[in-house]
Structures are given as C-alpha cells and as structure tokens.
Amino acid sequence: MSPSACVASWQSIDPRRPDEVPLRCWWARPADGPPRAGVLVLPEVFGLNGWIQGVTERLAAAGYAALAVPLFARTAPDLELGYGPDELALGRSHKERTRTDQLLADVALAAEWLQEQLPPAAAGLGCVGFCFGGHVALLAASLPGVAATVDFYGAGVRSGRPGGGPASLEVVPTIGGTLLCICGKEDLLIPAADVAAIETALAAANAARSADSPAGWLHRLVVLEGGHGFMCAARSDHHPASAEAGWSLLLETFAQQLGPDRHRAGA
C-alpha cells in the first residue's frame, strides 16, 4: 500500500449515553478524496495492534473510511498485544469479561460516529471482524444501518454469546443486510458441527427473505484452506493463498453492497 493512499491516526470517541464508555479507535480514510462508504473493523482478542491497524489502513486505501473499534473498552481500552501464548491468555481473560449488551453499545456508538463522518453520497456501513471480533461482527450485523458484514472465523457462535445467553446464531434472522461467514477448513475452534450449524442458520434466513429482496442480498458461508487466524501474517496459522482469497471476498462483498470498487492502489 502506498504511504499516501490513506491518512490514519488514533481517534477518541466520547460516550453519548449512560451505558457507553470512551472508545480509543484507529481511524483511517482515503487520502485522495471522500470515502464511498464506512467500515467498522472489529479485532481479535489481541486488541488494536499493528495488524488490525494495517487492515484498517488497507480498507482506507481501497476507498473506505475505516474505524477499528476496541472490544475491551471497559477493561483494557488501550490493549495492543502480540501473538505469543502469554498475550493470548491475557486477551482471552478480557474476552471472558465482556457482555453482549456492552459490546453492541460500543459498536453502535462507533457506527453512529462513523456515519457522521461520511459525506451524504456515501453508501452506508460495512463491518468486518476477526476471531472474537468475527463473533461480535455477527451480532453487530443486526444493528440498524449495517448493510454488509464479513465474519472471519468467529468461533463460538453456535454455543452461546459473550456474557452468556442463547447462541449468537439466533440473531441471524434479524439481520437486515448481508452476512458472509468465512472459516478455515482446519480451524480447531470451529468444529464441523459448528460449520454445519452456521450453514443451516444462513440458509434458513435466506429462505425466509421476501421474493422482492435485492438481488445478491443473501447470506453466505465460505470455507477456505487453513486454520484459525489464517488471514494474519503474524500468526502461526497464516495461509497466504487463503488470506488473499479472503481479502478478495471481503472487497467483493463491500463492492456489491456498498458501491463499486474504486480499484485504489494496494487494495
């Protein structure tokens, strides 16, 4: 990606309601013109580290205003971890302290702020999440105004939701936009039964959609080669070919639902 393809910096978002907290986000936007849409980026348990910042900047270079949102704003608002076993344990300890209502409140606040930064002609909001962020992205897909969501290897959506409660897959019928779930074939955190449950939930929601739904507004599941975290070059399960395919699917989904791809350098 060309250094001039985007402008990026830390952005503080102040709470607006009693149930909200301040958010320290990574904010990136195109350097050579207005964005055509906005995208929320939801991180792994490792926080807003260098890789997530890079994903956010890559989206900005592709023409989107992209905002990476901290998922541990109440317990570790400045978290930026590497990928070692101790960092994984620390990140998971914060994940276990999250609640779905608080996570959705944080994402909704970020979405509200991001929408305000977009020009009137911008096409709307997308959302992408990885690992725990992928799980939260599936939940956030039910928020008003989120038109397209890509959930990369969001584990645990069949068995429950953050803080307890019914399976997160139960929100799929309430999603108004499109949801693309992408899993790795060798992902030990998403067993075959979970993959089948995801496929069944998406198919049922598609079948329930009215016949006059816009063409292409169907949920999808794609299984690629690789294990958990295959998109990230800093992780042991990184699978370059699948990472490239996953990025292409991401851009294809947003191009279809949020407007035509501007083919920016580095996209």
In the predicted structure, residue 8 carries a pLDDT above the cut 60: yes
In the predicted structure, residue 216 carries a pLDDT above the cut 80: no
Secondary structure (3-state) at 117: helix
Q: Which residues of 231-250 are buried (b: 16+ CB within 10 A; e: fewer)?
A: bbeebebebeebbebbbebb
Tokens of 16: 């607006």
The pLDDT of residue 214 is 63
Contact at 8 Å (CB) between 36 and 66? no
Contact at 8 Å (CB) between 138 and 179? yes
The pLDDT of residue 267 is 35
The pLDDT of residue 209 is 83
Beta strands in the chain (DSSP E): 6-13, 23-30, 37-42, 64-68, 125-130, 146-152, 178-184, 220-224
pLDDT band (50, 70, 90) for residue 266: very low
pLDDT band (50, 70, 90) for residue 265: very low
Tens digit of pLDDT for each residue in 144-176? 999 999 999 999 999 999 999 999 999 999 999
Across the chain, what does the average pLDDT equal? 93
The torsion region of residue 262 among left (phi > 0), alpha (psi -120 to 50) and beta comes to: alpha
pLDDT band (50, 70, 90) for residue 211: low
List, by residue number, the catalytic residues.
131, 187, 228
The pLDDT of residue 4 is 60
Contact at 8 Å (CB) between 38 and 114? yes
In the predicted structure, residue 123 carries a pLDDT above the cut 80: no
pLDDT band (50, 70, 90) for residue 83: very high
A 10 A CB-CB count for 82 gives: 12
Tokens of 170: 């139960």
CA 213 to each of CA 17, 61, 139, 150, 201: distance values in angstroms, whole numbers, following the listed order: 34, 31, 21, 19, 18
The pLDDT of residue 245 is 98
**Rounded CA gap, 193 and 214, in Å?**
31
CATH class as words, domain 3-208+216-258: alpha beta
In the predicted structure, residue 264 carries a pLDDT above the cut 50: no
Tens digit of pLDDT for each residue in 56-78? 999 999 999 999 999 999 999 99
Sign of CA dihedral 88, 90, 20, 60: negative
- Classify strands 6-13 and 23-30 as parallel, antiparallel or unpaired: antiparallel
Sequence spans of domains, the chain: 3-208+216-258
- Classify strands 146-152 and 125-130 as parallel, antiparallel or unpaired: parallel
